[in-house]
Amino acid sequence: MLRELFATLLVSSALVVLVLYIVINGYYLLIHVLSLFQLRDEYRTRQSDPAYGTYESPFLPGIAVIVPAYNEEATIVDSVRSLLDQSYPERSVIVVNDGSEDATLDRLREAYDLEKIHDRAPWDLPCEQVHGVYHSVSVDDLLVIDKENGGKSDALNAGIGLTEQPLFCSIDADSLIDRDGLWHVVRPFLAHPSETVASGGVVRVANDCEIEGGQVLEANVSERSLIGLQEIEYLRAFYSGRLGLDRLRSLLVISGTFGLFETEAVREIDGYATDIVTEDLDLVVRLHRQMLENDRPYRVEFVPEPVVWTQVPETLADLSTQRRRWYRGLLEVFARNRDMIGNPNYGVVGTVAMPLYLLSEGIGPLIETYGYVVVPVAFALGMVNLEFFAFFLLVIVGFGVFLSWFGVFSEVWSYRRYDDPREIAILLGNAVIENVGYRQWKAFVSTRGFLEFLRNDTSWGAIERQSFSDETAEPNPNVEPDVDADIDVEG
C-alpha cells in the first residue's frame, strides 16, 4: 500500500515537473521568437544613416562614467584607458576606489598623474567616509574618489553624488567598452529624451580575446571549455533573451557591468541599495515601480550592439560563487517587491514580466533540479517507462540546444563578431555540451543558492582577475566580484 502511494506521488510529481518545464520553455521560446523581430528592426535602424548629424549635435547629454573599484590593480588602468578613449565627446570618468587593499590607487596615480583637490568630498555624499578626491593633471575629465570600503553600490552612490551630468554610466572595473560604446547605449536617450530612464547594451566575454590599449582588437572564441560555455550563455541571454523582453517593454535588468541611467531618476529612489547583492536588478525594478506609481511615461531599453567586454570566472568554484550570489539576489529582489507580482496597477511589468521572470529564473532551476532527481529515481524503480524517461531527456537537452543555437544564429546573422566558420562550429558544439552536464550542474548550484537564501546568507565571495594587457600576470585573488545579473534568460 505504501509503495503504491509512493509510486503515485512520484509519478504525479514527475508529470507536474514536466508540465511546468514545458510552460517555462514555452515562455523562453516566445521571448526568443520576439527577439528575432526586435533584432531585425534594430539591424535596419543601424543600417540607415540618421537624417541629421548626431555626432555634431550641440545638445548631446553629458555622461559621467562611474567605475567602482576594489582591489582592481590588475585591470584598472586598461579599463580607464578604454573609457578615456571613448568617441563620445560629452563624458567624464569617475573612478571610485572603494577602500582597496592592493595598489589600485597607486596604479592610477602612476598612470594618470593624480593630484588631490579635496581632503574630503566637497559636499556630503551618500556613502562611506571619503578620504580624498583627485583629478588627473595629464588627462582631462578624470576624477578619482578615495573612500572607505562600502561595497559596489556604495561606491556607485559616491559617484552619483559627485557628478553634475544628467546621465551616468555604471561599468565594472574588469570591463572594457568598445570605442563607440557610449554612442550606442545613449541612442534611446537621444530618440526619446523625455521618457528614457535607463538603457543597456550587450556584454561579451573578454577572456582569450586579443586586447591592446584598452580595446578589444579581435573577438576570439575560447577553446577553454568553461569559458566557451559561458560565451554561449551570454549570447543567448543578451541577443535572444533581453531583446525579446525589450520587445515586450518588460526588461527587468540592465547589467551592472554596463548600464546608462538618468541621474535624477536614480537620485529620486535614493540611488543603489547597499544591502543587496544584485544591485542592478534591484535598481531597475525600483525604477519601474517609481515611474508606474507616479504615472510617468518612461522607457527602459536594450541596445543590441556589442559594446562591453568583461572577464568571466575561469574556475568552477568561482563560477559557482557568482551564480549562487546572482540567484540569492534575484530571490531577494522579488521578495522585497512581492506586492508588484501579479498586480495590475503595475501594468505589463506586474502582470506579465515579474510573474514569468520569477517562474523561469527563480522557480525554474528548483523544478529542474527536482526533475533530475525524481524522474531517474522513478525510472530506476520501474515507476516510469522508458518512453517517458527518454522524452524527459529529449525535452531537456533538445530544447536547450535549440535555444542556445538560436542565440548563436542571432549573433552570426546580425553583428558577426564571430565570423570564422571554425569558431562558429565551436560555439555550436559548446551549445550541445552545455546541455549535457553543465546545465544540470548549474541547476544544483541554484538549489544550493536557494538554501543559502533561506539561511539569509549575504556573502559576496571573491573571484580572480587577470590583467587585460598581460595574460601571464599573476591572478589577484582578493578582488570584490562583479555583482551584476548578466545571465537572466537561461533557456
Largest separation between any pair of C-alpha atoms in the chain = 83
In-domain check, residue 376? yes
Between CA 365 and CA 216, with CA 486 as vertex, the angle to 5 degrees is 140
The overall average pLDDT reported for the chain is: 84
In-domain check, residue 55? no
Residue 445 near residue 320 (C-beta atoms within 8 A): yes
What's the number of domains the chain is made of? 1
State the Cα–Cα distance between residues 416 and 420, nearest whole angstrom. Answer: 9
State the Cα–Cα distance between residues 144 and 147, nearest whole angstrom. Answer: 10
392 vs 82, more confident: 82
Which three cell numbers mark 9? Answer: 506521488
Name the DSSP letter for residue 122: S
User: What would the pLDDT profile of 86-133 be if each residue is shown by its tens digit?
Assistant: 889 889 999 999 999 999 999 999 999 999 997 776 667 788 999 999
Predicted structure pTM score:
0.86
Model confidence at 430: pLDDT above 60: yes
In-domain check, residue 3? no
Q: Per-residue b/e over 100-130, b at no fewer than 16 CB within 10 Å?
A: bebbbbebbeebbebeeeeeebeeebebbeb
Provide the pLDDT for residue 107. 94
Provide the pLDDT for residue 476. 44
Model confidence at 483: pLDDT above 70: no
In-domain check, residue 2? no
From the list 232, 278, 233, the residue with the least C-alpha distance to 252 is 278
Model confidence at 3: pLDDT above 50: yes
User: What would the pLDDT profile of 439-482 be if each residue is shown by its tens digit?
Assistant: 999 999 999 999 999 999 877 766 665 666 554 334 444 444 44
**CATH number, position 144:** 3.90.550.10
User: What would the pLDDT profile of 8-56 be if each residue is shown by its tens digit?
Assistant: 777 677 677 777 777 887 888 888 788 777 777 776 766 665 544 455 5
pLDDT band, very low/low/confident/very high, at 320 (cuts 50, 70, 90): very high
**DSSP state string for 259-320:** EEEEHHHHHHTTSS-SS-S-HHHHHHHHHHHHHHHTT---EEEEEEEEEEEE----SHHHHH
What is the span of the domain harbouring residue 392?
A: 9-48+61-491
Percent pLDDT > 90 in the chain is 45
User: What would the pLDDT profile of 356-414 be if each residue is shown by its tens digit?
Assistant: 899 889 998 998 898 888 777 777 777 767 777 787 778 778 888 888 888 788 777 76
Model confidence at 287: pLDDT above 50: yes
317 vs 54, more confident: 317
Provide the pLDDT for residue 471. 43
In-domain check, residue 435? yes
In-domain check, residue 16? yes
Average pLDDT (418-429) is 86
In-domain check, residue 157? yes
Cα→Cα distances 304→188, 202, 203, 254, Å:
12, 6, 9, 12
User: What would the pLDDT profile of 185-226 be if each residue is shown by its tens digit?
Assistant: 999 999 999 999 999 988 889 898 888 877 888 888 898 999
